[in-house]
Amino acid sequence: MPRFMQLSDGSTTSKTSRPPPVSPGVSPAQRAADRFAVNGNAVVTGGAGGIGAVACRALLEHGVQGLAIFDMYPDRAQPTLDKLQSEFPEATAVFKRVDVTDAASVDSAVEEVEGVFGSIEILLCFAGITGSIHALEITPENWRRMLEINTTGAFLCSQAVARSMIKNGNKGSIVLMASISGHVTNYPQPHVHYNASKAALISMKSSLAAEWATYGISVNSISPGYMDTVLNEGSHLQSLREAWAKRTPYGRMGHPDELTGAIILLVSNAGSYITGADIIVDGGLTVF
């Protein structure tokens, strides 16, 4: 039997109906605040990393009530969690040690978070790895590990959270961390397995956006350019950092904070009609 995806009909009773109009008498300042308000509870995979931690703070700043960090490294995640909890005492923040490539680990963590928060409205899939290896030297293990973590891990987390959203009948937003590497070939570092993992994410995002729209679940991705994070620090990378900056019209690497505008747009009221999109945040590198 062939299977067919079902799209939403957009009716007033559907999960993709038009947002209600703004109430009369709302001040311009309140209307602006409401536009970028982020409601509900969020899971952030890789939430202890440089970009992940910045994204967690932005979510809390815009109104997220419950935040769960999924990460493999408790010693790195706990300080991040403690700092966020002290800055946002009214929110609930939890940490779960999760291997995103293990479906049972992901499902268990999502179920536990659902038990704490009641529901999950937002997922940021930011867990990932990188590595430079010449194509002739990549082993099958190198290839599989890169795609297992970056691509399969993102799918398993998206699937588990989408199932939770559908079961509870709530709409939601999923954002995948893609990269300009899914659009252009990285240079000068050899990155074929990394590039392939990110290109696959961009394609996956579109398929999930089509399938899950009827449930009111938006699926989008962000493609950062070269970001000034701990992964790109160190004297051994100085020549690469200089090469990246020279190839970028802005003449510099990006800061993780410069990704938060795109993140908040996609998970807030302002992004109510955005799904299947990939937002490139790269200082102009991909214009060439």
| Annotated domain spans of the chain | 35-287
> Is 273 noted as a catalytic residue in this protein?
no
Question: What is the signed CA dihedral for 207, 212, 213, 218, rounded to 10 degrees?
Answer: -80
Least Cα distance to 180 among 45, 281, 249 occurs for 281
**Catalytic residue, candidates 194, 197, 223, 226:** 194
What is the DSSP code (8-state) at residue 23? P
Helix/strand/coil for 120? coil
Whole-number Å distance between alpha carbons of 56 and 150: 19
**Catalytic residue, candidates 164, 179, 223, 268:** 179
Say what the pLDDT of residue 15 is.
Answer: 95
Say what the pLDDT of residue 181 is.
Answer: 94
Say what the pLDDT of residue 234 is.
Answer: 56
Instruction: Return averaged pLDDT per consecutive 10 residues of the chain, 288 residues in all.
Output: 90 94 88 94 92 95 97 89 93 95 98 97 95 95 97 98 97 97 90 96 98 98 88 66 88 94 97 98 94
Sign, CA torsion 57/34/120/101: negative
**Catalytic residue, candidates 15, 96, 198, 205:** 198
Say what the pLDDT of residue 220 is.
Answer: 98
> Is 179 noted as a catalytic residue in this protein?
yes
The top-level CATH class assigned to 35-287 is alpha beta
pTM: 0.95
> Is 194 noted as a catalytic residue in this protein?
yes
